[in-house]
Chains A and B, each alone.
Chain A
């Protein structure tokens, strides 16, 4: 039976968008222009704002690496991994978005290791798969170096 694709968190991105249109979705306060990700749909968290309507806003597709790390040990639940399979480390990237002036964390695209990253390097947002169960393919976002595999020869 084919698995149904589903976003790991509803409303954080459009799971049907192609790579060129794929964006994280935050919200923006109409009164003060403050931007929130993960999205705030109930209240504006700017203490100087009386509170306005919050509208959906796509975030920048490109950013620069604020920092990065990886996971050499299996994280506990609710992270999903096959306990019988040998653990494969994955990479986490914190990315600074210039327009939004915020840092957004994400897993790196599969195959990207810490050796492929450096602070300040440009990355782009790409759609990805977090895990699969019997019925669903759980979709997520990944950060990917713009020139994948590039290493600086020092």
Chain B
């Protein structure tokens, strides 16, 4: 049995292509989160940085990099990297330290500065690296995998390109209301259909961009929050950082093949749904309790997968949920009320933290025009390369 930690502060640096250092973005987000918490930096006892491979050595040791930028004050430091799940690992680490009594107040920061175009593997000749191999042998970019999943949904469930476009339309409408989003213009289905095919059946506007951006959270023990005057803070109730079960039978980037289910039968649930299941179990909640969810829409079609994996509907029913407006702002269970990756573009180590920032503002009823009325329970879901699960449940 675990217990809650308080979210005292949330802060972001706007997403975009700013052409500056990830340290600058992260420091800005951290200062915003501290200001939101009403706390001085020197009260923070632990700083956890979500790393980026694109920041050189400072990116690999992001915790100390941000601590140095904010001014050395001796706090305990942790640097974590888990690709897209880095932010959840950082939140999970800070939470574990708080629950273990190692720190009362922790600062979590993730920031990235992404180059234009496809993400590519680290340089050099590295045939022992699956990520290098998929590019060398197949030219299989991330969107190629998104295209495979999208086509599979079309064949299995009858999803259409129009359904995928509808996800973009929905998320761009939410993003237009978010001052931290990179894309703040509503997109029409016609505009999606007119954009270039990247990986059949997905078009440019079906696929998330790569962005600069940063997000930060100030977390504390419930005791500290009370002493600090936060009587009813947003609380983190669960952090799921699950790995898959063998055999993993869903083809996932960067793999060239799945595990074989010939010797050991495939587990009942796939990896993504197990990420959600662990989060629900830890929180003692279920999909029926959610007011909103922030999921990793690397592509429009992938957002639909998450509906099913989070148990918002049965397999193959996601497009229906989308079409009837359930997951739009104003619907019964808005998904990506913040605008999602469709509106932000991916700033890898910041993204899972940004999802929790959005939940925090929604649960505090501070989300302005995109507010989900009466939001009480929110969940985030995400997945990092090589099998890093990431989901957070926050409540108020």
Interface residues of A (CB under 8 A from B): 8-9, 29, 32-38, 45-48, 66-73, 75-81, 90, 92, 94, 99-107, 114, 118-120, 130, 140
B260 touches A101 (CB 8 A): yes
A67 touches B263 (CB 8 A): no
Question: Nearest Cβ distance between residue B117 and chain A, in whole angstroms?
Answer: 7
**Which chain B residues lie closer than 8 Å to A71 at the CB level?**
139, 141, 144, 199
A100 touches B262 (CB 8 A): yes
In the bound complex, what is the Cα–Cα distance between A77 and B123 (angstroms)? Answer: 8
B257 touches A68 (CB 8 A): no
A105 touches B151 (CB 8 A): no
B262 touches A105 (CB 8 A): no
**Which chain B residues lie closer than 8 Å to A99 at the CB level?**
262
**Which chain B residues lie closer than 8 Å to A118 at the CB level?**
155
**Which chain B residues lie closer than 8 Å to A104 at the CB level?**
256-258
A78 touches B260 (CB 8 A): no
Minimal Cβ-Cβ distance residue in B for A130: B137
A75 touches B139 (CB 8 A): yes
Minimal Cβ-Cβ distance residue in B for A81: B139
Contact A76 B135, CB 8 Å, known A99-B262, A114-B200: yes
B133 touches A9 (CB 8 A): yes
**Which chain A residues lie closer than 8 Å to B269 at the CB level?**
none
In the bound complex, what is the Cα–Cα distance between A38 and B149 (angstroms)? Answer: 21
B257 touches A102 (CB 8 A): yes
Most buried by A among B130, B141, B156, B266: B141
A-B contact count (CB 8 A): 147
A102 touches B262 (CB 8 A): yes
Question: Nearest Cβ distance between residue B324 and chain A, in whole angstroms?
Answer: 26
Of the A-B pairs whose beta carbons lie under 8 Å apart in the complex, a sample of 18, sorted by A's number, is A32-B263, A34-B247, A36-B260, A38-B133, A38-B256, A47-B246, A67-B148, A67-B149, A67-B151, A69-B151, A70-B199, A72-B197, A73-B141, A75-B135, A75-B139, A78-B135, A94-B251, A106-B138
**Which chain B residues lie closer than 8 Å to A34 at the CB level?**
247, 260, 262-264
B118 touches A73 (CB 8 A): yes
In the bound complex, what is the Cα–Cα distance between A83 and B140 (angstroms)? Answer: 18
**Which chain B residues lie closer than 8 Å to A106 at the CB level?**
138
Instruction: Write out, one digit per residue, whether chain B residues 137-171 have a CB within 8 A of any chain A CB (1) or not (0).
Output: 11111001001111110011000000000000000
Minimal Cβ-Cβ distance residue in B for A118: B155
In the bound complex, what is the Cα–Cα distance between A77 and B198 (angstroms)? Answer: 17
Minimal Cβ-Cβ distance residue in B for A35: B260
B264 touches A68 (CB 8 A): no
- Say yes or no for B136: interface residue by CB 8 A criterion: yes
**Which chain A residues lie closer than 8 Å to B258 at the CB level?**
102-104
**Which chain A residues lie closer than 8 Å to B147 at the CB level?**
69-70, 92
In the bound complex, what is the Cα–Cα distance between A38 and B260 (angstroms)? Answer: 11
Minimal Cβ-Cβ distance residue in A for B156: A119
In the bound complex, what is the Cα–Cα distance between A35 and B151 (angstroms)? Answer: 27
Most buried by B among A33, A99, A100: A100
Minimal Cβ-Cβ distance residue in B for A74: B139
**Which chain A residues lie closer than 8 Å to B69 at the CB level?**
none
Minimal Cβ-Cβ distance residue in B for A38: B256
- Say yes or no for B315: interface residue by CB 8 A criterion: no
A79 touches B133 (CB 8 A): no
In the bound complex, what is the Cα–Cα distance between A35 and B261 (angstroms)? Answer: 9
Minimal Cβ-Cβ distance residue in A for B262: A101
Minimal Cβ-Cβ distance residue in A for B119: A76
A78 touches B121 (CB 8 A): yes
A9 touches B127 (CB 8 A): yes
- Say yes or no for B259: interface residue by CB 8 A criterion: yes
Minimal Cβ-Cβ distance residue in A for B154: A119
Most buried by B among A8, A35, A72, A77: A72
In the bound complex, what is the Cα–Cα distance between A105 and B252 (angstroms)? Answer: 11
In the bound complex, what is the Cα–Cα distance between A23 and B114 (angstroms)? Answer: 40
- Say yes or no for B120: interface residue by CB 8 A criterion: yes
